[in-house]
Amino acid sequence: MSFEKEIAKRRTFAIISHPDAGKTTLTEKLLLFGGAIQVAGAVKSNKIKKHATSDFMEIERQRGISVATSVMSFEYNDTLINLLDTPGHKDFAEDTYRTLTAVDSVILVIDSVNGVEDQTRKLVEVCRMRDTPVIVFVNKLDRDGKYPFDLVDEIEKELKLSLHPMSWPINMGKEFKGVYNLHNSSLNLFTASQKATEENTVPIADLNDKLLDEKVGERNATQLREDVELLQGVYGELDTEEYLKGKVCPVFFGSAVNNFGVKELLDTFIQVAPRPQGRNTDTRFVAPTEAKFTGFIFKIHANLDPRHRDRVAFLRVCSGRFARNTYYKHCRLNKDVRFSNPYSFMAREKDIIEEAYPGDVVGLFDTGNFKIGDTLTEGEVMQFTGIPVFSPEIFKELVNKDPMKTKQLEKGIRQLTDEGVAQLFTQHGGQRKIIGCVGELQFEVIQYRLLQEYGSSCSFTPLSFYKACWITGDKKAIDDFVRFKQANIMEDKDGNLVYLAQSEWFLNTERQNNPGIEFHTTSEFK
């Protein structure tokens, strides 16, 4: 197959949702359609149990298992689908944000009963930063949820998305009859089923057809006619270009657990979802069709099992052809590296691969050479951008409990933060070290790993900071600010200046008092 065709056949995406909306269930149904798994429950068993929050070792153990399902590749109707898993647990939200830098589009699952939830808001914000195309799947129509018009309204308002319904539900809960496909004027009748079978579809070109009343009942048919008239007046045909620009989101309704509406979603997805897209670097834009290989590391997974302490770095191929046993330039370290056992993620098995194409994700065994965002090329020096770090939510000071092991502690903390477990801030002009995380769990992970892997012991003193803000602006204004606010000024791992604000009030006050300074809550700003 030609290089162009290899690229054209790929779709790389992630499913995102607030926990419990049905991400795992939908993932599993998609895999069933792709023939990647035969039995329902295969993905589910890898899911981090929501009740395991107090036991991070258990979570890590399950995360270990889930490396195999971090990327799920399968073929469906001549399309090669790379589905990147995102951890549902909120303490691993940073992992999810980074994974979103490696996909070309997302499917957002919304629970029809709960509507828009906390995590959804954050995830959509990250998508918006990159104009990632979004398809919405409204799930759990078999339950008594919110009215579809109210839901659409809520999603549009709360998430600031423009929606475009592709299908429309007929009643819900016990009375759920199915969905009307607005795109190809057909009726999908609801039958509860766990298996991947063909859906029960009836073409109904003219909504006045009496067949509709026969199939869904008179009252439901009348309601549908009214709804569709309204919808057609407002929405018309989907503008695919607008979707690809991230401006309009097609919406489907269904019930993942009943495998309803999933095939329809998948069929439309492979038709409209973007092919592997190009990406920006610090020097230029890289198109996927360029002959020379480039790629970047978006995730590093460490194995906590002392018998297999290997790390896996996840590489997204951006352009050209990646090949096994070939030397590539590790741009940050300015050295050549090659990989004898790169692997792909076909159907839950780790297969050694010979080559990979743009849009693919390759697992690379790593002994500590990589950090998040590292770029590999065939020689050109560049760095992929667009992998921002977000302000942590919890801050604690790192206390060294064993001064004899200071070196080990420093090395350990550097490596763990390279992996993206947490963020390290060092006092500007001083020695204090502050660790910032999204969730409490990471502090436990750090403490455990520093002891197990580096033999150093530490404790944490909680600090009551609200946000870390990267500061830029006029040199004099920055110098003055740094002098006045000494106790709150830190440096991130790359030496950028960061202001730690005690509260929202403090941050707003500083913003007002310092018009010459910009306060950014992510590390990448243009």
Alpha carbon separation from 506 to 209, 259, 427 (Å, rounded)? 64, 50, 19
Q: Pick between residue 23 and residue 301 the one whose CB is nearest to ligand G4P.
A: 23
- The CB-of-482 to ligand G4P minimum distance in angstroms stands at 44
Q: Are 331 and 412 in contact (CB under 8 A)?
A: no
Q: What is the spatial distance between Cα 245 and Cα 131, in angstroms, rounded to a whole number? A: 6
Q: Which is nearer to ligand G4P, 36 or 362 (CB)?
A: 36
Q: Tokens for 368?
A: 């500590």
Cβ closer to ligand G4P: 88 or 412?
A: 88
157 is annotated as contributing to ligand binding: no
Q: Name the token pair of 93.
A: 């939200």
Give the integer Cα–Cα distance in Å for 153 and 143. Answer: 19
Shortest reach from residue 100's CB to ligand G4P, in Å: 16
Which of 143, 493 has the CB closer to ligand G4P?
Answer: 143
SS3 content of the chain, % helix, strand, coil (to 5): 35, 30, 40
HSE, side-chain direction, 13 A CA sphere, residue 286: 31
CB 190 within 8 A of CB 177: yes
Give helix then strand counts, H and E, for the chain: 14, 31
Q: Is 5 known to sit in a ligand binding site?
A: no
Q: Is 44 helix (H, G, I), strand (E, B) or coil?
A: helix
Cα distance from N-terminal residue to C-terminal residue, the chain: 39
CB of 138 to ligand G4P, least distance (A): 10
Q: Which residues bind ligand G4P (CB under 6 A)?
A: 17, 19-25, 44, 47, 88, 139-140, 142-143, 255-258
Residue number with CB closer to ligand G4P (17 or 456) = 17
Residue 139 known to bind ligand: yes
For ligand G4P, which is the closer residue by CB, 110 or 490? 110
Q: Does 86 show up as a binding residue in the annotation?
A: yes
Is 22 annotated as belonging to a binding site?
yes
Smallest distance, ligand G4P to C-beta of residue 140, A: 4
Considering the complex, state which of residue 20 and residue 158 has its C-beta at the smaller distance from ligand G4P.
Answer: 20
What tokens appear for 141 in the block? 């129509």
- DSSP code string of 277-311: PPEEBSS-EE-TT-SS-EEEEEEEEE---TT---E
Is 19 one of the annotated binding-site residues? Answer: yes
At closest approach, how far in Å is the CB of 17 from ligand G4P?
A: 5
- CB of residue 24 to ligand G4P, shortest distance in Å: 3
Task: Name the residue among 139, 79, 70 with its Cα closest to residue 108.
Answer: 139
Q: What order of strands is seen across the sheet that includes strand 79-84?
A: 71-76, 79-84, 10-17, 105-111, 134-139, 248-253, 162-165
Whole-number minimum distance, CB 25 to ligand G4P, in Å? 3
d(CA 56, CA 300): 18
Nearest to 56 by CA among 443, 404, 465, 518: 443
Whichever of 192 and 381 has its CB closer to ligand G4P, that residue is 192
358 is in an annotated binding site: no
Q: Smallest distance, Å, CB 85 to ligand G4P?
A: 10
Q: Which of 383, 367, 375, 283 is nearest to 329 (CA)?
A: 375
The pairing of strands 335-337 and 343-344 is unpaired
Parallel, antiparallel, or unpaired for β 311-319 and 294-302? antiparallel
Q: How far is the CB of 284 from ligand G4P (least distance, A)?
A: 38
The CA distance from 283 to 182, in Å, is 45
Is 480 within any annotated ligand binding site? no
18 marked as part of a ligand binding site: yes
Residue number, 144 or 380, with CB nearest to ligand G4P: 144
- Does the annotation flag 141 for ligand binding? yes
47 among annotated binding-site residues: no
Flag whether 23 is marked binding: yes
Binding residues: 17-24, 85-89, 139-142
Binding residues for GTP: 17-24, 85-89, 139-142
